[in-house]
Amino acid sequence: MPAVDLQDIRKRMTGAVKVFEDKLRGIHGGRPSPGLFDGIRVDAYGSSMLLNQVASVNISDARQLSVQVWDVSLTQAVEKAIRDSDLNLNPQAAGGVLQINIPPPSEEQRKQLISLIGKYAEEARVAVRGVRRSGMDNAKAAEKSGGISQDEMHKESAEVQKLTDEFVSKINTILENKEQDLKTI
């Protein structure tokens, strides 16, 4: 019986990549994307709800999003939530629809965003390496206690390293794509 649960390791590494992707979703390079508002919470009906639970977000044109609020009485709450977010956007209300212009970032802002996503990528790589360390420690402990042979320990460690390389490569690819997106005007 293997000392390392490779499915659990894959699941945990997938979680680290998902957290990284979620953080990137809120970073825009000047092009509108409905995913821009995925993490925004709105005070509605006495609780905090995700914006996509009270409105739909659509791309109006190359530099504008429209947010159709389903309950017109929540329009001000949605507008406030967007204004208070860290996206620095200024929605304009017209009935139950908010129009939001997405300005292109300045060169300095682009550099800051690229630096920020690089930091997020490193956090994700550190999380993946932490999962690897846990798997390697389990394999070494099983070998030390006599549960598996030294050859089996090396084989399992190699499988854990293979998964680590796969997920670090995914993180690097996602990072490169997002950097390209931010560099493109």
CA 156, chain centre distance (Å): 30
Q: Which domains, from first to last, does the chain contain?
A: 6-24+106-183 (1.10.132.20), 31-101 (3.30.1360.40)
**CA-to-CA separations, 31 to 75, 108, 131, 175, in angstroms, rounded:** 24, 17, 35, 17
Q: What pLDDT is attached to residue 185? A: 60
Per residue in 124-182, pLDDT (tens digit) is: 999 999 999 999 998 888 888 888 888 988 999 999 999 999 999 999 999 999 998 88
Q: What pLDDT is attached to residue 146? A: 85
Q: What pLDDT is attached to residue 9? A: 93
In the chain, % of residues over pLDDT 70 = 96
Q: Token pair for residue 67?
A: 């947010």
Cα(166)–Cα(125) distance, integer angstroms: 11
Q: Token pair for residue 96?
A: 């139950």
Helix axes 107-144, 150-183, angle to 10 degrees: 170
Cα(84)–Cα(67) distance, integer angstroms: 16
Per residue in 91-118, pLDDT (tens digit) is: 988 877 999 888 777 888 888 889 999 9
